[in-house]
């Protein structure tokens, strides 16, 4: 899966396993970039290698926005 921004009106799914968010499964944003969501820490760790480059880029953009 690619790291694409998640929107509020889009069906939310875990970036690693694809599990859909619901009342039972609460998805959490990547805390650094907020680009993707995960169903748990295990999925976040498993997806980290694929997500690292996009995450660092977006996190830097967010930091720059906060500075200005």
**Residue pLDDT, tens place only, 15-33:** 999 999 988 889 999 999 9
pLDDT in tens for each of the 68 residues of the chain? 455 555 544 568 999 999 999 888 899 999 999 999 999 999 999 999 999 999 999 999 998 988 88
Q: What is the DSSP string of 1-68?
A: -------TTSPPB-TTT-PBP-SSS--EE-TTT-S-EESSHHHHHHHHHHHHHHHHHHHHHHHHHHH-
């Amino acid at each position: 899966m690619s790291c694409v921004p998640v929107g509020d009106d889009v069906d939310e799914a875990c970036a690693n396993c694809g599990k859909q968010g619901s009342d039972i499964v609460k998805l959490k944003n990547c805390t650094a970039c907020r680009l993707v969501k995960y169903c748990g820490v295990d999925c976040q760790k498993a997806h980290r290698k694929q997500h690292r480059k996009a995450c660092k880029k977006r996190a830097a953009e967010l930091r720059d926005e906060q500075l200005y």
